Structure 1
């Protein structure tokens, strides 16, 4: 972005659109569609459970560390705590590293809950509205709900990882609608390194 545009944006208080790509609606096998649908249906609030006290201590340390680092982006303590607890819960639920999800959110929406891309992707993880028709209840407004957005985004990324046999680079490209192009996956991987 040019310096001139940044100055104009800062002076006018304009909110820039999210820089997300355009996820593609793909033909999904019925079993995949059903698995995704089941993954997003459970509206259980994010309540972490731990096998032992050391796991709980690691979570608390992670939460405190990430909260401190994210304070500039999400100033309100309660909002930031809820955001991080939900990221951790939904990422772990989908078998993803919470730092990866934070990196993806950084690239996709810059931590803006109501971000909308030029392609129409919505929320923190920039989920395309067609997903609500494919695996959801057709309520596109729900994509601005924190838990709903993260649940969709994490479930979709998990599906792409499975489709790409664990190849994160290709899965990230597919998530962004830019499979095979390096810019987006490299940006997310770089952002992930900041959250490890």
Structure 2
């Protein structure tokens, strides 16, 4: 018989939660970044990138842990994490496809590229493929306006996209 018999299921889950802990590697790297700035808040974006590089995304609990290491309010780290679209707040696929949906890429045909990606991957914007391979995200501008339509897969920029080349492009990212 459980000693939690008077607790609701939600309360039992809360009892069994393991607290989030930054790895020593993450903590040391964040501490190192902190020392590069007069104001520790300036290290927030780099701290978020450190966690994301190791984990693939930044869980809510990491926001609190980062704020603690930097010695700043949680709201400051949350604000930075929310502002930057390159910080992922939920799990993403092994490869993140960010296609430009700016006015210029609209004129050059990004909507056809988006439709082909959604069809081939079987997902909509903001979703991840069932196999965890790709996440599809729009982004406001990739700064490649003279070469649209443009998208990034991970850190690689692909410009002058053509529908007939999408399969070949996706095959480069197993």
Fold equivalence (TM over 0.5): no
Give the structure-2-normalised TM-score: 0.28
Give the structure-1-normalised TM-score: 0.26
Comparing both structures, which one devotes a greater share of its residues to helix?
Answer: 1
Comparing both structures, which one devotes a greater share of its residues to strand?
Answer: 2
